[in-house]
Amino acid sequence: MIISGLASTPHLDHVRHVVDANAFTESIARRGVSGPSGVRLLAFHDSDKPVGRITELKPTKRGLVIRAEIDEDISYGKDLAVATKAAGGLNFSVGFRLQDADFDVAPDGEEYLHILKADLFEVSVVVFPMNETASMTEVKGDSFDRLLGSVARLKIALEELNK
């Protein structure tokens, strides 16, 4: 199943944090989205549940744009895909290590933590995000799409064997 949306946005969240739109730029450039140190796609911030792969992760003015694939060959990936479809989409949440931040004052007069730079290590699919604007905008995938994906992966594997 293909999912996309905003993994993080520069809006005030429920714990009074605002993550700057460019907070993860250096981290993403350094880590990438594949390999041993790449940014991971997880289910519910559970490091024991990698659930697929991120195909695009790009900081923009609106926030951190993500496009990813939930691997339905993983048992909990299939469950997550079914739950995502049933809900008409879920939400995203990010896991990171803080590197630089300042306190600022929101329009309501209360302070918030403005996160300026952070080391992003995972994006999770979640039901209830701290940042309600970090949500899926696209959910694609049905049995035919999965079949085409399997055929494409098989074709790549066969091409690798024939090299």
Mean local confidence (pLDDT), 90-97: 98
Burial of 158 (0-12, 13-18, 19+ CB in 10 A): exposed
Report the length, in residues, of the chain: 163
- Containing domain of residue 56, as a range? 2-161
CB 27 within 8 A of CB 96: yes
Mean local confidence (pLDDT), 69-90: 96
Flag whether pLDDT at 150 surpasses 80: no
Mean local confidence (pLDDT), 109-116: 97
Structure token digits, residue 46:
């559970």
Model confidence at 87, in pLDDT bands (50, 70, 90)? very high
Flag whether pLDDT at 144 surpasses 60: no
Model confidence at 142, in pLDDT bands (50, 70, 90)? low
Cα separations (Å) of 108 from 46, 134, 139?
A: 34, 22, 35
Total domains in the fold of the chain: 1
The whole-model pTM stands at 0.84
If you ran DSSP here, which 8-state letter would residue 39 be given?
A: P
CB 55 within 8 A of CB 41: no
Flag whether pLDDT at 92 surpasses 80: yes
Number of C-beta neighbours around residue 11 at 10 A: 15
